Each structure stands twice: as C-alpha cells, then as structure tokens.
C-alpha cells in the first residue's frame, strides 16, 4: 500500500484531548479520530491492527472449543426487566424508542439475550457443554469516558457464555477460557497480571481479571511479591495488624468538646493525635436495617468487602435523618459507645485501647475508649481497602499497590440467569436441571490500546509483529530516481508474493518527516531505499526495537526481509 493512497494523518504535537500516552499515540500515529466524547472512528491503520486482534481472539476462542454467534446490539427492554437489570444498569444503559413507542436498549452486555436463546434451543444433557461467543459492539453510557478506546461509550467486546450440566463441568469450561485468555494476551505481546476480582454476591474465588500494569490504569490492585497473590482493590484482603494500644491507663471514656469538627483530619489536628487513633464510625443501611461500621481513622472502607462480610444484598450510606435517629447526633459525631444498633468493626480494630471516637452528641467526641470494654462490637471482619505496605493475607510478605488496565474478565455466574430465563435441561435420568453458566469478556478495542500503552517509547508506538498494521514500512527517499524506484518495487513485489504487504512511503516529503512517521507508526521493520543506499548497492534495514540500521546488499534484501518478517 502506498502511503499517499491511503489515509494516515499523523500529528506532530500531542493532541490536547488526550492524557494517556497510548491515547496520544493512537491519535498522533493516525489510527483513530474522535467523533465526540467516547466515540471514535478507526482510520485505516487502526482497522488493520484491530482486525488482527480480532483474528487472534477468534482463533483462540475456536481453538478452545467455543462456537461463534452474533447477537443484536438492539434489544427489547423486557428481557432486562425480567433479569432485574433494567434498574441495576440504570443510566449506564442507552435506551431508544421505536416508532410504536416501545423502549429498546443498546446492549451493554449479553447475558439476557444469550440465556433467552439457550433456554429455547438447548434442552438435553446431550447438547452440553456449550460455550458460545461473539465479537460485537457494546454500548455503555460511562460516567467518565476517557483515554480514547480505554473507556468509550461504544466499544468492541468479545463476550462468551458457557452452559454446563453442573458446577464441576462449569469449572472446566472456566478453565478452558482462562487458558485461552492467557494465549490471546500472550499473542498480543502483553504480559497480564491475573487478579482475583469481586464476585458480587456469590463469593468464592470464581472471578478473575486480566490486567495490564500501567500508571494510567483505572483499576487499583495489590500484589504480593512473595507469593504472587494479586487482587483487585475492591476485593483485596490484608492481614489485619494487632489492635493498637494508644494509652495503657485504665481511664474511662471522657467527653471533649469538638465544635464543628467532623472529619478525622479536623479532630486529629485539634487533638494533636495521629489519625489512626480515631475510630471512624459510619452509619449504613444494610438490607433496610441501620448498622454502625467502625474502621481505623486512616483507612478507607471497602463496601464490597463489607457487603460480603454481612451477606446482604443492598448496602447504602444512611441519610442524615437516619443518622440522627440512631445516634441522637448530627452527622459527623457518631461513635460506637452506647449505640443500640449492630456494630461491625474492621479486624484491625480488635483490641484498640485509648482510642478517640464520636460522642453521639453534637460537637462532642470521646477519648480513652477501649473498644472491647466500652462498645458492643457485633463482629470483627476484614473490611478496609488494602493498601501499599499492608501484610499479605496468604504469606505475611508485603503487599504492593499497582495500577492496571482490565482487558479481560472471567466470571462464574452459576444459575442466576438460567433460573430467571428458565434455562434448564433434562439430565440422563430425564430430570429437569438448571444450566450452570459462566461469562467471559475481553475488551477488544481496549486491548488494542493497551498494547500501545504497554509498548511504546518517546518516538512512538512499538507494535509486536502479531498486531502491527503493516509488518514493515519502506521509505523511498528519492522516488523520482529510476534505480531507487526499481529496487523499491522489486522488494515490494517479492514480499507481496509471500503474502507480506508493505506500507510504502512514497510521499513527496522530507526524509526527516518520513523517518519520524515510521517510528511513530511503530512498524516492526523500517526499510530505506535512497540514492545514497543504491550508491552503495544496498538498502538500509532497521528494526523498530533497535537503534542502528544495517546495510544489506540489494540482491539479498528481499530474502533478508523475508527472514525477518516470516520469523
Ligand atoms: P470497567 O470496570 O473497566 O468499567 P467492567 O468490569 O464494567 O469494566 P465488563 O463488564 O467485565 O467490564 O466487560 C468486559 C470487558 O470489556 C472489560 O474487561 C473491558 O476490557 C471491556 N470494557 C468494559 N467497559 C469498557 C468501555 N467503556 N470501553 C472499552 N472497553 C470496555
Ligand atoms: Mg469487569
């Protein structure tokens, strides 16, 4: 392909709209263009790489025994009402009306559609197991679309759904997808960290996320250098330290006046005390019942961990009125002493003595609180968000906080959707059973950009050979010179005969610009044919990953390149 025949608009400067390095580079190298927030056009180079990622995903899914379908993006509202997710998805789901005034949704995911299909088409154990996938456009009205393809309103996902006779078989389907994911990301040149992820109300370690480590990653994770334990921050556990004794004396709680001081920081500063000496008391409503939740003043509550610890299905912060009713005080002064509701405390608070808490009275705090003696804690559990420097729950080594880009997600669903859509089958005894499901997503467009985030330098993208839009760029520096033009087209033809298409930069541009654009575009191999190289009976060949080119005799050039590009 001649560069002048296609459309590769490169940019010298970083576009203002972009923050993440990969987003800047995708725009600068001419792979994508923004239509509006979270909506992007793929230009020719972007399409070529995207198709290669899709091809890898499709090949590996087929290899793992999954079968491909294509479901509608536009879906009737009633299947979402049936699963109860019309409300759960809320404003994230795009809705449209047809001419009859019926509401349809633009699918953010496809559990409902696939389970509805399978409930009709699969009914015997003889048809199992089945893993069904598609590669298709999804729509999500994200609160904050950003970083280009990373968090878009419209994006391409590979979504797969497994249907099995029982949990054991479902475990095998899950494992097959896990292995396929490992191969897919490896073939894309990525080195993912697999983390345990939140499983919603189901518990267990049956959800994994494939993360690409990057400073711009939107997901926080902790990883243990010792044993490799890695988990999404939402779910991550830390080994709680033994409760601290701040004051050994036997003094009893004493009220102190803290006018208008509500936050941990304000009170800690006022009392000249370290923030961890304060016990933060949060009032929540769990399954419609108000509860108090205690955490050390310097930590953050993990609502996910708390939800699991309580085993409830709804959890929300109490409003000011509820807080006043259960604590007799305005918001900001709640404390555990004398409360008549259930009190759940972080495990790190067990044995806390000499602590400071809210006083359940306006403008009042308590000092000298011994939690075991003065407060009726119902249960201690691990409910704070893990952080850098915490102790690993598995091996006592240190946890390190990192940031990651979630490129893939595996999830054991169980029978949640099969029950809703009555997706059952007859077992070999003729007995009706529910199908056990799993679901598996890969953000295809996000993965493409994650490769750029993971693999670039100051000069541009560094594509792995597997998904480069062109394996090589050939810069023809003096296109009007007959010998130059001849050698260039001989090389182009020889490679084309072997199925390798080059991007030939035949533009009437200064050499400097062609070199810069070749680096920016990240093509694995750069070939330069110029009057100067022909004068030396050679062409210049350079790998994107190396600094220095080599000169290869004209007559050996095609064979040399084939050796490089077919490797
Ligand atoms: P996130 O936590 O990043 O919002 P998610 O957990 O909601 O993602 P899933 O429902 O698990 O996403 O979707 C499967 C995959 O689709 C994700 O692992 C991710 O790679 C991709 N994905 C999700 N949302 C987007 C988006 N807005 N833009 C691009 N890719 C996305
Ligand atoms: Mg996810």
- The tens place of each residue's pLDDT in the chain, 567 residues long, gives 999 999 999 999 999 889 999 999 999 999 999 999 999 999 999 999 999 999 999 999 999 999 999 999 999 999 999 999 999 999 999 999 999 999 999 999 999 999 999 999 999 999 999 999 999 999 999 999 999 999 999 999 999 999 999 999 999 999 999 999 999 999 999 999 999 887 654 444 479 999 999 999 999 999 998 998 998 888 899 999 888 888 878 899 999 999 999 899 999 999 999 999 999 999 999 999 999 999 999 999 999 999 989 999 889 999 999 999 999 999 999 999 999 999 999 999 999 999 999 999 999 999 999 999 999 999 999 999 999 999 999 998 999 999 999 999 999 999 999 999 999 999 999 999 999 999 999 999 999 999 999 999 999 999 999 999 999 999 999 989 999 999 999 999 999 999 999 999 999 999 999 999 999 999 999 999 999 999 999 999 999 999 999 999 999 999 999 999 986
Ligand 1 atom showing the smallest separation from residue 407 Cα: 20
By C-alpha distance, which of 333, 355, 352, 336 is closest to 271? 355
Best residue among 39, 106, 136, 443 to mutate for probing ligand 1's pocket (most ligand atoms within 8 Å of CB) is: 443
Q: What is the pLDDT of residue 169?
A: 97
Question: How far is the centre of ligand 2, averaged over its atoms, from the C-alpha of 474 (Å)?
Answer: 41
Beta-bridge mates of residue 539: 552
Q: Is 158 in the pocket of ligand 1 (CB under 6 A)?
A: no
Whose C-alpha lies nearest to ligand 1, atom 3?
406
Listed in order, strand segments (DSSP E) in 415-480 are 424-426, 432-434, 436-443, 456-457, 460-461, 472-476
Whose C-alpha lies nearest to ligand 1, atom 4?
151
Tell me if residue 356 falls in helix, strand or coil.
Answer: strand
Tell me if residue 265 falls in helix, strand or coil.
Answer: helix
Phi, psi of 401 (to 5 degrees): -85, 140
How far is Cα 66 from Cα 131, in angstroms, rounded to an integer? 5
How far is Cα 338 from Cα 371, in angstroms, rounded to an integer? 11
Question: How far is the centre of ligand 1, averaged over its atoms, from the C-alpha of 410 (Å)?
Answer: 12
State in Å, rounded, how far the first CA of the chain is from the last one: 22
By C-alpha distance, which of 157, 143, 149 is closest to 114? 157
Torsion angle of C-alpha atoms 44, 48, 49, 51, degrees rounded to 10: 130
Q: What is the pLDDT of residue 317?
A: 96
How far is Cα 555 from Cα 561, in angstroms, rounded to an integer? 11
- Residues whose CB is less than 8 angstroms from the CB of residue 16 and which lie 6 or more positions away in sequence, other chains included: none
Q: What is the pLDDT of residue 200?
A: 56
Question: How far is the centre of ligand 2, averaged over its atoms, from the C-alpha of 81 (Å)?
Answer: 22
Give the Å distances, CA to CA, from 497 to 49, 424, 480. 21, 53, 25
Q: What is the pLDDT of residue 199?
A: 65
Ligand 1 atom showing the smallest separation from residue 408 Cα: 18
Q: What is the pLDDT of residue 17?
A: 86
Best residue among 92, 143, 446, 451 to mutate for probing ligand 1's pocket (most ligand atoms within 8 Å of CB) is: 446
Q: Is 409 in the pocket of ligand 1 (CB under 6 A)?
A: yes
Question: How far is the centre of ligand 1, averaged over its atoms, from the C-alpha of 201 (Å)?
Answer: 19
Please report which residue ranges of 367-481 form alpha helices under DSSP H.
371-374, 416-420, 444-454
Tokens of 236: 């991550």
CB environment 527-542: b (16+ within 10 A), e (fewer) = bbbbeebbeeebbbbb
Ligand 1 atom showing the smallest separation from residue 447 Cα: 20
Secondary structure of 39-87 in the HEC alphabet? EEEECHHHHHHHHHHHHHHHHHHHHCCCEECCCCCEEEHHHHHHHCHHH
Q: What is the pLDDT of residue 313?
A: 84
Pair 178, 195: CB distance under 8 Å: no
Q: Is 217 in the pocket of ligand 1 (CB under 6 A)?
A: no
Q: Is 135 in the pocket of ligand 1 (CB under 6 A)?
A: no
Q: Is 544 in the pocket of ligand 1 (CB under 6 A)?
A: no
Best residue among 406, 407, 449 to mutate for probing ligand 1's pocket (most ligand atoms within 8 Å of CB) is: 406
Question: How far is the centre of ligand 2, averaged over its atoms, from the C-alpha of 164 (Å)?
Answer: 22
Whose C-alpha lies nearest to ligand 1, atom 26?
151
Q: What is the pLDDT of residue 203?
A: 45
Q: Is 140 in the pocket of ligand 1 (CB under 6 A)?
A: yes
Q: Is 526 in the pocket of ligand 1 (CB under 6 A)?
A: no
Q: Is 443 in the pocket of ligand 1 (CB under 6 A)?
A: yes
Q: Is 151 in the pocket of ligand 1 (CB under 6 A)?
A: yes
Please report which residue ranges of 218-350 form alpha helices under DSSP H.
264-270, 303-310, 320-327
328 φ/ψ sector (left φ>0, alpha ψ -120 to 50, else beta): left
Q: Is 54 in the pocket of ligand 1 (CB under 6 A)?
A: no
By C-alpha distance, which of 213, 219, 130 is closest to 437? 130
Question: How far is the centre of ligand 2, averaged over its atoms, from the C-alpha of 126 (Å)?
Answer: 32
Q: Is 142 in the pocket of ligand 1 (CB under 6 A)?
A: yes
Beta-bridge mates of residue 540: 528, 551
How far is Cα 271 from Cα 176, in angstroms, rounded to an integer? 57
Residue 431 CB: number of other CB atoms within 10 A? Answer: 10
Question: How far is the centre of ligand 2, averaged over its atoms, from the C-alpha of 516 (Å)?
Answer: 37
Tokens of 73: 């993006």
Beta-bridge mates of residue 280: 295
Whose C-alpha lies nearest to ligand 1, atom 13?
441
Listed in order, strand segments (DSSP E) in 246-363 are 254-257, 279-286, 289-296, 315-317, 343-346, 355-358
């Amino acid at each position: 392909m001649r560069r002048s025949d296609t459309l590769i608009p490169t940019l010298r400067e970083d576009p203002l709209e972009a923050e993440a390095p990969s987003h800047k580079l995708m725009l600068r190298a001419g792979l994508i263009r923004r239509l509006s927030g979270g909506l992007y056009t793929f230009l020719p180079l972007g399409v070529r790489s995207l198709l290669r990622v899709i091809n890898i995903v499709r090949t590996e899914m087929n290899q793992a025994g999954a079968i491909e379908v294509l479901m509608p993006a536009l879906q009737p509202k009633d299947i979402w009402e049936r699963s109860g997710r019309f409300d759960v998805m809320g404003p994230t789901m795009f809705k449209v009306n047809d001419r009859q005034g019926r509401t349809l949704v633009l699918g953010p995911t496809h559990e409902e559609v696939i389970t509805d299909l399978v409930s009709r088409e699969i009914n015997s154990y003889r048809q199992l197991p089945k893993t069904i996938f598609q590669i298709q456009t999804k729509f999500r009205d994200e609160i904050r679309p950003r970083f280009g393809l990373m968090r878009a309103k419209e994006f391409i996902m590979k979504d797969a759904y497994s249907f099995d006779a029982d949990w054991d078989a479902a475990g095998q389907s899950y494992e097959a997808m896990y292995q396929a994911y490992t191969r897919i990301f490896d073939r894309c040149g990525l080195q993912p960290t697999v983390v345990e992820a939140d499983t919603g109300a189901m518990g267990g370690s049956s959800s994994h996320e494939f993360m690409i480590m990057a400073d711009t990653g939107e997901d926080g994770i902790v990883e243990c250098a010792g044993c490799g334990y890695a988990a999404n921050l939402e779910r991550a556990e830390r080994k709680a330290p033994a409760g601290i004794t701040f004051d050994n004396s036997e003094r009893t709680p004493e009220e102190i006046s803290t006018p208008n001081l509500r936050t941990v920081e304000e009170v800690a500063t006022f009392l000249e005390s370290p923030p961890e000496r304060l016990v933060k008391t949060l009032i929540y409503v769990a399954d419609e019942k108000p509860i108090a939740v205690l955490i050390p003043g310097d930590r953050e509550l993990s609502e996910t961990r708390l939800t699991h610890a309580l085993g409830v299905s709804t959890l929300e912060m109490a409003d000011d009125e509820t807080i006043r009713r259960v604590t007799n005080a305005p918001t900001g002064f709640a404390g555990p002493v004398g409360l008549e509701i259930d009190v759940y405390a972080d495990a790190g608070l067990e044995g806390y003595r000499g602590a400071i808490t809210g006083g359940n009275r306006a403008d009042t705090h308590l000092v000298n609180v011994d939690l075991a003696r003065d407060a009726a804690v119902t249960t201690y559990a691990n409910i704070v968000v893990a952080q850098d420097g915490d102790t690993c729950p598995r091996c006592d080594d240190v946890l390190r906080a990192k940031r990651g880009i979630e490129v893939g997600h595996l999830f054991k669903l169980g029978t949640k959707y099969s029950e809703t859509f009555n997706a059952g089958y007859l077992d070999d005894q003729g007995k009706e059973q529910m199908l056990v499901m799993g679901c598996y997503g890969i953000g295809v467009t996000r993965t493409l950009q994650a490769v750029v985030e993971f693999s670039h330098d100051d000069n541009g993208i560094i594509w792995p050979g597997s998904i480069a839009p062109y394996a090589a760029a050939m810069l023809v520096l003096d296109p009007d010179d007959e010998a130059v033009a001849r050698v260039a087209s001989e090389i182009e033809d020889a490679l084309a005969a072997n199925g390798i298409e080059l991007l030939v930069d035949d533009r009437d541009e200064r050499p400097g610009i062609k070199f810069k654009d070749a680096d920016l575009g990240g093509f694995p191999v750069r070939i330069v044919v110029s009057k100067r190289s022909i004068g030396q009976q050679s062409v210049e060949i350079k790998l994107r990953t190396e600094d220095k080119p080599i000169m290869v005799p004209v007559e050996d050039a095609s064979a040399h390149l084939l050796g490089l590009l077919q490797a």
